[in-house]
Structure 1
Amino acid sequence: MTTHPTSANVLIPQALSPEATGPAGLGPEAPDPQVLTPELLRAWAWHRQGLDGTLQGADAADVFTRAGWARSVGGANPYLTLFARAGTSRAQADADVLSLKIQELPTARGCTYVLGRDDFAWGLQIGRDAAVAPFRVLARMGVERGEITLLEEEILHALAEAGSPLDPKQLKDLLGDSVRNLGEEGKKKGAATTLPTALGLLQADGRIRRVPANGRLDQQRYGYTLWGLPPTALDDEAARSLLLERYLGWTGGATVKQSQWFTGFTLANTKAALAATGALEVPTASGEVLWMMPDDVGRLTSFKAPAEEQIQLLAGTDSLVLLRRSSGDLFADQDKGKNVLGSTLALLADLPDHPIFDRGRIIGLWQYDPGKSRIAHWLFAGATPAVSRRIAEVEAWIRDELGDFRSFSLDSPASRQDRIDALDAAG
């Protein structure tokens, strides 16, 4: 693909689709930076995330492919990700996990996300380096690679003999002295035994997979079972380029720093992947430069923010928030000084509460109070009928399908009571 520099320092690629091209089909016309205001870019990201109704009725795997993998830390974010975009029930999501249409797997930066089937193999490949890293800690404590390899084989044999998932305690009991206890030194370094490292390597290779103990994604009790996932045909460079292409599509554009945070790539690998994807630099009204996929540059040129309210309650780890990890960009100027429990919200990388959105802008915060089966909330400018209606819908969905809405595995009604009280007081 041939490119030409422009006066706006934006690369204009040739041979793009007609609807994404400028005069004479030479490439997408770069939007005027002054048009790309924070307000427009918030609405654009909202659209790219499918939160404007464009993913309604889509199956779970398609949602994760088009809007981004759902971060899973033993919380309910994967369920709300699907419900907000596609209207998916918890029962359907659990059925999709059971049938291997979607799975929770370690991938970018070694973090666990829920992915669609087509992304399993290369998603695991992206997380392979993170799975190998714990062995380096073990090596410094005298554990040789051969010992871990032998333990991996014994784990596979134990799972084959069992014929059903085994949790880590069951495996440890079965394997006995094959699992080495690393004592106090190991505990200090986060490696009490050799078992987690062996399990992580097997999972990264697709030879085993985790199975939720009760079939639900919003907890962290798992067993392991044999898998045998065929490896991807991609080399590591191609896998990195694919992830960055997906990431820029999910976000609608991001800075190099934001891209590096999500992917965990080095600067050199990031630059190589950006070049491979054909991504373009797009200046914005704030002076920030976003990298975007060429087709998105063309679409953004003609994009108009929705005129009517579009209200969603999302998790604090939703892709709209987490992929860029710059929550300050999601607040209107008049709300950037808002604070709760002594913290200024717009200055935090991670939100302390779940956000309420209207077309990409945070208009309030919420938490679920299971003791009263209600959503505690704080709306910065008060409720409109659309906001009240959506709060009631999500409240009923949580009550009837989830029972509670945990942010992460150790979240509990007691641990969030102070936040619930603060939201009630602010509201």
Structure 2
Amino acid sequence: MGQDMDMDRATQRAWSWHKQGLDGSLAGQTADQVLGKAGWARSVGGANPYLTLFSRAGIRREQADADVAALRIHELPTARGCTYVLGADDFAWALALGQGAAEAQAKVLDKLDVPRAEVAALEDAVLTVLGSGVEHGPDQPQALDPKQLKDKLGDAVRSLGEAGKKKGASTTLPAALGLLQADGRIRRVPVNGRLDQQRYAYTAWGLEASPLTPEQTRARLMERHLGWTGGATLRQTQWFTSFTVAQTKAALAGAGALEVGGLWMLPVDADARENFTVPKEEQIQLLAGTDSLFLLRRNAADHFADGDGDRQLLSAKLALQADLPDHPIVDRGRIIGLWQYDPGEERIAHWLFDAPTPAVTHRIAEVEAFIREDLGDFRSFSLDSPSSRQKRIDALNQAAG
């Protein structure tokens, strides 16, 4: 029975891998197509969006940056108020999902006795400064960073003193910018055009609002989530969507989902899953720890084979950590090792659980070259740096012997 259970887990891992397009099925697709089929790429000022596109379709940074500049893909606040890089077809309805987080930020100002009329006036002033909702063209849009905006807005921005600092709102500007962005009236653009940093400016946008009702929007997100994952538990869907129990049940019904063996699935996937078999040949990828394969369900522990999750690095058992502290090396959904990029050595420091095969060695070299040539470094998040990850690089080198 134990062997059958392990086979089932291996099949489920490979099924999720297939649904994520990590088996080569998305080769030749554009960036917006990849993000539509495999899932939005989590962006926290790190390089995950770039590796997401490279691992699935071989898209290099130059092309990804061109797609950002042309608004074929863009980073927006959406599910749970978190920022993701997504395709143009999803902009309006996905942005609607993040309005609750923007409103929560504005409610902090209510507690600081800032009238809503004052916030609304500041929103109008921001739009005036940025060009009254009219962009100056896709090649040279009017864009100002927060300091430039604050300088131009003058007394329209109010300092909230120590009381505001304690609540994370030193001035009224961030809340106004959040509300404007959530409504699609402005958008945030990376200062140097790159997704793996967190220095932004703002430009007017005027995105047309989604015609979907809140119920239809939630159903669409559920349909996408189940399609991206190939199936998820009720708890996993709630973690990603932040829907209430009632909203979750309604969204599952709206998506026409079926419960199969404890997983909620789309009917088409339930049928396809019955005939799915694990590919015999290796399919090696180096992914970010925040890749959609793991983050959409926050189930990295499920991707370790029996025994591998009990391994330890820096005194922590791998499978007991909610999120991967290092980036994974993966074969058909199974995590077979961990890696970090060492920019000083211009190499990938890695620890493989088993002896390397030619396919593993080849893929490590390919990703190493991609990072060196396209990115220069591979940060997990905005504050990640070579010095901050040196301890983990040393631990991986030591574990690898």
Tell me the TM-score normalised to structure 2 length: 0.96
Pick the aligned partner of 1:188 from 156, 166, 179. 166
Structure 2: how far apart are the matches of 1:256 and 1:299? 21
Pick the aligned partner of 1:263 from 229, 241, 257. 241
Runs of 4+ deviating beyond 6 Å: 33-36
Aligned to 1:122: 93
Structure 2: how far apart are the matches of 1:352 and 1:37? 27
Q: Secondary structure at the match of 2:385?
A: coil
Percent identity over the alignment is 66
For structure 2, the residue ranges without an aligned partner over 5 or more in a row are none
Aligned to 1:295: 268
Q: Secondary structure at the match of 2:27?
A: coil
Structure 2: how far apart are the matches of 1:242 and 1:46? 22
Aligned to 1:405: 378
Aligned to 1:329: 302
Structure 2: how far apart are the matches of 1:330 and 1:189? 39
Compared CA separation, residues 35 and 334, structure 1 to 2 (3 A): closer
Q: 1:289-313, CA deviations, whole angstroms, 9 ceiling, x for partnerless residues?
A: 1100000000000001100100000
What is the Cα deviation at residue 35 of structure 1? Answer: 9.6
Q: Secondary structure at the match of 2:285?
A: strand
Aligned to 1:79: 50
Pick the aligned partner of 1:391 from 364, 388, 391. 364
Q: Residue type of the partner of 1:325?
A: R
Aligned to 2:278: 305
Aligned to 1:417: 390
Structure 2: how far apart are the matches of 1:55 and 1:425? 36
Q: Residue type of the partner of 1:305?
A: V
Structure 1: how far apart are the matches of 2:5 and 2:201? 53
Aligned to 1:368: 341
Structure 2: how far apart are the matches of 1:182 and 1:324? 38
Pick the aligned partner of 2:155 from 165, 172, 177. 177
What is the Cα deviation at residue 173 of structure 1? Answer: 0.9
What is the Cα deviation at residue 111 of structure 1? Answer: 0.3
Aligned to 2:292: 319
Aligned to 1:95: 66
Q: Secondary structure at the match of 2:307?
A: helix
Q: Residue type of the partner of 1:61?
A: D
Pick the aligned partner of 2:318 from 345, 359, 364. 345
What is the Cα deviation at residue 37 of structure 1? Answer: 1.4
Q: Residue type of the partner of 1:77?
A: N
Q: Residue type of the partner of 1:83?
A: F
Q: 1:346-378, CA deviations, whole angstroms, 9 ceiling, x for partnerless residues?
A: 011100100000000000000000001000000
Matched, 1:139 2:93: no
Matched, 1:197 2:170: no
RMSD: 1.2
Structure 2: how far apart are the matches of 1:420 and 1:261? 30
Q: Residue type of the partner of 2:69?
A: L
Q: Secondary structure at the match of 2:50?
A: helix
Structure 1: how far apart are the matches of 2:361 and 2:269? 33
Structure 2: how far apart are the matches of 1:106 and 1:155? 19
What is the Cα deviation at residue 34 of structure 1? Answer: 6.8
What is the Cα deviation at residue 382 of structure 1? Answer: 2.0
Aligned to 1:165: 143
Structure 2: how far apart are the matches of 1:266 and 1:390? 42
Aligned to 1:156: 127
Q: Secondary structure at the match of 1:333?
A: coil
Matched, 1:46 2:17: yes
Q: 1:311-370, CA deviations, whole angstroms, 9 ceiling, x for partnerless residues?
A: 000000000010111211010012021111111110111001000000000000000000
Compared CA separation, residues 219 and 98, structure 1 to 2 (3 A): same
Structure 2: how far apart are the matches of 1:345 and 1:268? 34
For structure 1, the residue ranges without an aligned partner over 5 or more in a row are 1-32, 284-288
Q: Residue type of the partner of 1:167?
A: D
